[in-house]
Amino acid sequence: MNLPLFIEESKVPVFLSYFSPITINAITLGPFVFSRSVISEKTRRHETIHWEQYKETLIIGFLVFYLMSWLWGILKYRSGKIAYYQIPFEQEAYSNDDDWVYLLNRKKYTWLKYKI
């Protein structure tokens, strides 16, 4: 089986957007990527980077570190939206989702070089 599994035209991102500081178009939850619409190649790369991060942190570590990073960002920047973009996982994914070969050359734990 090839992971992550992409699920297009899902209501999951719509629902989760009610609780998020941003409008969620796609979201990786473990080995599943839920998208509001057809997933672009750029979004596939972005979400696959998250799947690699999930594996490196044994799934639960991703969720814990993601939440802790976001909360730290809220304290530091006083903005949920800015805090979201400062999460190291998001910084790595956004910095490299245009790079067609990034996932072929990505070193493990690259997200650790990004600071909140």
Residue 54: domain span: 5-113
Query: Over its length of 116 residues, how does the chain's per-residue pLDDT go in tens digits?
Result: 789 999 999 999 999 999 999 999 999 999 999 999 999 999 999 999 999 999 999 999 999 999 999 999 999 999 999 999 999 999 999 999 999 999 999 999 999 999 99
Query: Quick one: pLDDT at residue 1?
Result: 73
What is the predicted pLDDT for the residue at 43?
98
- Work out how many domains the chain is built from and give that number: 1
DSSP string, 16-75: HHTTSSS--SEEEETTEEEESSPPPHHHHHHHHHHHHHHHHTTTHHHHHHHHHHHHHHHH
Which amino acid does the sequence have at 86? Q
Q: Residue 14: what residue type?
A: V
Per-residue pLDDT, 47: 98
